[in-house]
Structure 1
């Protein structure tokens, strides 16, 4: 495994981050999914990731109504020492219906960090991420509350996810002006099928020393197999966000997937390895967040770290891309 600093910090993270949205099951909560794994089935993936040098794990309070945090926390306590791992979790999404059940108010942030720490079974998280931009809360209120979380020792660093570049830079500017703890990472939607982040967000992050940890680097599996017009997997059949992300751009995306398959066949490796190796070739990208519910998915991600694509292969993968609109549900 290779390691790299997360943004302009001394924090070292593995080049692959294991996303834990698929781990843990819940019968209650606002956001739950039929395709997530039980705790018993989830633990081997976390253990295997650790055995292969992955030290970076990403979850969120909302994943299976907190069960993802519980599963991850128990597994890390059993399989690793706390100071050996980097734990990221998120806040924003609805944890309950009704007033104050979601968002980035001071009330939400200060209560949700405590709840996340209890579920994870730790005194602090390494990286606390705002899951989305909150249009209903003053930005200054959010940033000051996040600064308090860091100063209290409950989080070591702050991150953000899925917003426009101007919003991110505005937030960073306010943090700098007020002496508040600054964002060190951006978890954005980026892959071979959606490269709009190359226009503004990635250059901004590179300029300002922000680590980039893209989510869905394999486009929810669409970059790992021949094009399918109809959903085949259990997750795809029940993935409302996936429908919003990809439904309108099918004609633009299929040629890109075909190119991934072509390069993979020529190299004698899986399409997943090619798609991840392409992302890892980008200077702005620190650590893509991959999900794994089958052993080969984690194996492909680990092998991708050592797969180096040529300039010609990268150009071949990229030259059919056409501009996309920001998908519904992105921000």
Structure 2
């Protein structure tokens, strides 16, 4: 996922892109069945869809409307008002394409507008992962009306994806933590732009978001973000909303949760699980068996559908990142 913010007088334009896991050759391969030159259109109250076939355009448009309502109710407790202008959705659908998407919009003096969305992937992944992810970005943008911290925006939007996509993030998280690519929370919370190595931010942001939501719920998570964006004193709001005295303490509690097999760890590996921080060594983790988190059902405890992990490759095109 990538969001780039470009400032201009009185406004901020945001580009938010879903980064899927796919081979470079699949993203670059020309395919007549994903061309939009002969795309079919479908119009709903809030979306105008262009897709390879009329049936796909209708299916994507109706799904987008349903997700727009259900995800807004799930996260903020009520549906969003109808937009003044519909959001165009350009859809490329083919089994040869990796899951990915991009959404753009503009913040201007407390308003948000200028929605545009692109989605790509197989029909299944577009409908059950890419579209929910991108629609959740619009819910957060409409609710907060300002850019969110990168880790929280991408992390929360990943929680609504299909289990197979979440499973990929879980496997990548453990890989990153065991190879020194984890991001210390003091650095991650301060990020306003994406790092060069973007995937660790996605995996770690998703895992931390799930950790906070499982322990305290979505409403507390939104209040935590709104409070923190007022002065960016994340140590203060972490203590106020979650009871941790510092980001470092939260970091180690989260690591303990990950070590407790949420997500499932590859216990056959002897590599340590730790963050890439020369100045903040990992401290012993508190016993979670007596904590409230131990009593919470976890999505990570469920049996995830197996999903192959193809070689990682990046394609940079038009200011967006596709993987």
TM-score normalised by length of structure 2: 0.26
TM-score normalised by length of structure 1: 0.25
Q: Which has the higher strand share?
A: 2
